[in-house]
A and B are shown apart, each in its own frame.
Chain A
Amino acid sequence: MKRLITVLALGLWSLTAQAALPTHAFTLDNGLKVLVREDHRAPVVTVMVWFKAGSIDEAPHEAGLAHVLEHMMFKGTEKLGPGDFSKLVSRYGGSDNAFTSYDYTAYFQQYEVSRLPLALELEAERLGHLKIDDEEFARELDVVMEERRMRTDDNPNALAWEKFQAVARPGTGYAHPIIGWRSLLAQLQPEQARSWYQRFYVPGNATLVVAGDVTREQVEPLVEKFFADLPSGQTPPRPRQTVNPPAGERRLALNLPVKVPSLYMMYNVPSLVTLEDKRDFYALTMLAGVLDGGMSARIETDLVRGERLVAGAGASYSGIQRGDGTFTLTAAPSPDVTLEQVEKGLLAQIERLQTTLPTDAEMARVRAGVLAGQVFEKDSVMGQAMELGMLSTLGLDIDLSARFAENLEAVTAEDVQRVAQQWLVPERLTVGTVKPKAPTSDQPQAEPQP
Chain B
Amino acid sequence: MKMNVFRLACLLVLGALLSACAGTFSGSFPRSEAQVAATDPQAPALDIQSWQTEQGAKVLFVASDALPMLDIRLVSDAGSARDGAHPGLASLTSALLGEGADGMSVDDIARGFEDQGASFSSSSYRDMGVISLRTLSEAQYREPVLALFNQVIGSPTFEQDTLARIRTQMMQGLRMETQVPGPQVNKAFQSTVFAGHPYGQPSDGTLESLPAIARDQLQAFYRTYYAAGNTVIAMVGDLDRAQAEKIAGDISAALPEGQAAPQLERATPLAERQRQHITFPSAQTHILLGNQATWRGNPDHVALYVGNQVLGGGGFASILTDEVRQKRGYVYGISSHFGPMAAGGPFQVRLQTGNDNADDALTLTLDLIDQFVQDGPTAEQLEETRASILGSFALGTADNSDIIGQLGAIGFYDLPLDYLQWFNEQVRTVTAEDIQAAFQRNLTPDNLAIVSIGPKAPQIRPADSDAGAAAAEEPADRAP
Contacts and interface: CB of A to CB of B under 8 A. Distances in A.
Interface string A81-123: 1111011101111110000000000000011111101101110
Given A145-B354, A146-B352, A376 B134 contact: yes
B173 interface: yes
Q: Which of B32, B64, B165, B171 has the most CB of A within 10 A?
A: B32
Interface in A109-151: 110-115, 117-118, 120-122, 125, 138-147, 149-150
A178 interface: no
Interface stretch (B5-13, B366-374, B391-399): B391-399
A236 B210 CA distance: 58
Nearest to B118: A372
A42 B391 contact: no
B84 interface: no
B388 A444 contact: no
Nearest to A154: B282
B169 A312 contact: yes
Contact of B395 (A110, A308, A361): A110
B279 A146 contact: no
A146 B176 contact: no
The B interface, classified by DSSP as helix, strand, loop or mixed, is mixed
B449 to A, nearest CB: 10
A72 B306 CA distance: 29
Contacts of A139: 326-329
A127 to B, nearest CB: 14
Nearest to B140: A11
Given A154-B284, A301-B107, A378-B67, A93 B29 contact: no
Contacts of B275: 448-450
B36 A92 contact: yes
Q: How large is the interface on A (under 10, 10 to 19, 20 to 34, 35 or more residues)?
A: 35 or more
A121 B32 CA distance: 7
Contacts of B394: 42-44, 112-113
Contacts of B134: 376
Contacts, number: 285
B110 interface: yes
B44 to A, nearest CB: 7
A234 interface: no
The A interface, classified by DSSP as helix, strand, loop or mixed, is helix
B26 interface: yes
B51 interface: no
Contacts of B283: 149, 153-154
A380 interface: yes
A81 B279 CA distance: 40
Nearest to A74: B316
A93 B315 CA distance: 12
Interface in A355-370: 361, 364-365, 368-369
A236 B171 CA distance: 51
Contacts of A120: 32
B215 to A, nearest CB: 18
Interface string A334-349: 1100000000000000
A293 B114 contact: yes
Nearest to B384: A91
A300 B68 contact: no
Interface string B257-277: 000000000000000001111
6 contacts: A81-B24, A142-B329, A142-B330, A154-B181, A381-B398, A447-B278
Given A379-B401, A380-B401, A445-B278, 10 more contacts: A41-B64, A80-B29, A93-B390, A121-B31, A149-B352, A308-B168, A361-B111, A368-B116, A445-B279, A449-B277
